Chains A and B, each alone.
Chain A
Amino acid sequence: MSLAMPERRLEKLSPSAARHRPWSPERGHALLLLPPLLLLVAFFVIPLADVVLQSFAGPGHPLTQYERIFTQSSTLQVLLYTFQTAATVTLCTLVLSYPVAFVVSRAKGNLLHLSLALILIPFWTSTVIRTYAWIVILQRRGVLNEMMLDWGWIERPLKLMSNGVGMQIAMIHIMLPFMVIPLLNTMRGIDGNLLRAAAVLGANPLRQFLSVYLPLSLPGVSAGSILVFISSLGFYITPALLGGQKTMVAVLIEQQASRLLDWPMASALATVLLVVTCLLFLLYERAMRFAGGGKTVGEVS
């Protein structure tokens, strides 16, 4: 996750080249960073700062909006539900993606291309379309219920959507590529000889996996999980179409911003979401560093 990471890699790969630098790559890199940095400051940092400032701007004392959020049990419950959902989706996506990424990382030639295509094509399909596809499958007279009724597995159609379950299934489906691709990236970099070495030293397959493969794949796990978790927090369309009674926080922000025109409140909700996400991210990185033996997320390998 650190910006200097590629350079460190470079040093490891070719120490001699790094020692006699004909020009300073560091200075060169810094210059290359300038345009995207300006873009980010202009179109991301400044508007975001404006959002945070707005949250203190409403009528009453500066913290009025935050007082409202933290004294309203409903808002807190919505936040809690949002984080719970994001956590569930992240965990399920990880469990499903890990074996897929493992197999694909071992694949070669046409099989590799085919599996990458199978992962990426849904990724390029609109979220709305995939969500509607899930409605067709999950609804009461949908494909899945009709099939199970025909086969006599169930007697009455099950309620598979509008209750959180359907929403999470669709979210997991949409999030899968975001997990598989970072995992794949890390796994393809793992040296197979290390596993063979572990085997030579007497480790059984389980031990090989737990002591060698899993720790080496952790950077991919962490990158994928963070990506999926943070994207899930802001999901809007899928919860709106497949969700049940409970509300995700994005819907609440939309209500405040565009139905009630209460921008300070919408900004405060967005700020709370941002701060809590940052805190969780920091915590998570700490945990990963601990698990990776004292190194930061990006540099375990």
Chain B
Amino acid sequence: MITKQPSSKRSTFDRRRVLKGMAATSVALTGFPYIAKAKPATMTVPNSGGALEEAFKVAYFDTFQKKTGIQILGAPYMDTARVKAMVENNAVDVDILNIDATEAAALARLGLLEPIDYSVFDKSTLLPAAAKEHYVLVDVAAYIMAWNTKTFTAETRPKNWAEFFDPATKEGQRSLWKLAPQTLEVAAMGGGQARDKLYPIDLDLAFKSLDRLKADLTWWTSGAQSAQLVIGGEVDVGTVWNGRVFKAKNDGAPVDYTFDNALYVCDSMVIPKGAKNKKEAMEFLANMVDATNQATFSKAIPYGPVNTKSFELLDAKTLELLPNSPQNGKTAVFQDFDYWAEKGPEIFERFNKWLVG
């Protein structure tokens, strides 16, 4: 079952890609030196890899190459630590990269990112939450509730976060991500905090919710594990990212999920400070938020578009799988990435203290 997961995040680059890159580079250096001077022949875009990179390639990399002649090469995920090291050591060899939105917000707060140039594309068609000063959200995934169908049905499952955090009402083993972000949001909603007033998170309320679950709780630390816990029956109901369970459900695994009261978590694109090809990086970003390309992306992987015009380009079957399609997005809420960039350290500390307490 593990192999059926959409992919492990952060897969590494393979030989074929390296060879392609080398070939492209040598063409650039020998065959068409004048092009190499005018603009880069290739750009390297680190990303989460696996299924996400495949979707990126179809929707964004190939279309960009067609439009500009610049070939985009995928590369292994760069986490915040590596971006920080790269910028601080003046060794910026990446022009634009895909990174988790909370990590993007943390980098922005430290002043390690170039501001986004919104004159290059029309941001009025984007979701208001997507266009930030230093980063742009490029897809919408969700932290959601999933249950093992041998224990619960869509009717008997905990019908909201309050019931999820109340083992007395709905008996069963639970699982949550062992990290403060996302988990504390749903815990706060479980304690009764209104989803439209989720920030600042009422931490006392959130920890009280966690206290109630302590005896019936299993923690997960990776996306593959979160799905496996529910599918394998280690827990009866738990949190997962939607990309981790849709395929298992389709393939007949005993798992089902809901987008009710989902927490939107997003991928973003950032341009590291000191990037050499800023202009091309912005053009690439513009190509990414294009309505048609966003729709192509959402067809390849069940992460929703940030361009509101994309929904009309998608069929009903695809819309059903997307966290922020009109029918699924009614009760969901966006995570506040900048809140975590600011308050992260103290909340992490409190969360770690609760874990050992």
Q: CA A132 – CA B103 in complex, angstroms?
A: 28
Query: Do residues A257 and B228 form an inter-chain contact, with CB atoms below 8 A?
Result: no
Query: Do residues A259 and B344 form an inter-chain contact, with CB atoms below 8 A?
Result: yes
* Chain B positions 210 through 250: 1 when the CB is less than 8 Å from some CB of chain A, otherwise 0: 00001001110110010011001111000000000000000
Q: Which of chain A's residues has its CB closest to B225's CB?
A: A241
| Beta-carbon contacts under 8 Å, B181-234 to A | 214, 217-219, 221-222, 225, 228-229, 232-234
Q: Does A113 contact B (CB under 8 A)?
A: no
Secondary structure call for the B interface: helix
Partner of B106, one of A135, A255, A261: A261
Q: Which residues of A contact B217 (CB under 8 A)?
A: 245
Partner of B219, one of A135, A141, A244, A255: A244
Q: Does B15 contact A (CB under 8 A)?
A: no
Q: CA A244 – CA B217 in complex, angstroms?
A: 9
| Beta-carbon contacts under 8 Å, A241-268 to B | 241, 243-247, 251-252, 255, 257-263
Asked if A141 meets B232 with Cβ closer than 8 Å, knowing A74-B356, A132-B2, A260-B106, the reply is yes
Q: Which residues of A contact B348 (CB under 8 A)?
A: 255, 259-260
Partner of A72, one of B106, B221, B344, B349: B349
Q: Which residues of A contact B345 (CB under 8 A)?
A: 260, 262
Q: Does B134 contact A (CB under 8 A)?
A: no
Q: Which of chain B's residues has its CB closest to A252's CB?
A: B352
Query: Do residues B352 and A78 form an inter-chain contact, with CB atoms below 8 A?
Result: yes
Among the interface residues B110, B214, B233, which one has the most CB atoms of the partner chain A within 10 A? B233
Number of A-B contacts (CB under 8 A): 86
Query: Do residues A141 and B234 form an inter-chain contact, with CB atoms below 8 A?
Result: yes
Q: Does B273 contact A (CB under 8 A)?
A: no
Query: Do residues B222 and A139 form an inter-chain contact, with CB atoms below 8 A?
Result: no
Q: Which of chain B's residues has its CB closest to A262's CB?
A: B345
Q: Does B81 contact A (CB under 8 A)?
A: yes
Q: Nearest 5 A-B pairs (CB), nearest first? A: A141-B233, A74-B353, A240-B221, A162-B218, A77-B356
30 A–B contacts from the bound complex (CB under 8 Å):
A73-B356, A135-B225, A139-B232, A139-B233, A139-B234, A140-B173, A141-B234, A142-B232, A161-B218, A161-B234, A162-B219, A162-B234, A240-B222, A241-B222, A243-B219, A245-B214, A246-B355, A246-B356, A247-B355, A255-B179, A255-B348, A258-B81, A259-B103, A259-B179, A260-B106, A260-B344, A261-B80, A261-B81, A261-B106, A262-B345
A73-B353, A261-B80 known, 20 other contacts, Cβ within 8 Å: A73-B356, A74-B353, A135-B232, A139-B232, A139-B233, A141-B232, A162-B218, A162-B234, A240-B222, A243-B219, A244-B219, A247-B178, A259-B80, A259-B348, A260-B106, A261-B106, A261-B110, A262-B345, A263-B81, A263-B84
**Which A residues are closer than 8 A to B by beta carbons?**
72-75, 77-78, 81, 132, 135-136, 139-142, 161-162, 240-241, 243-247, 251-252, 255, 257-263
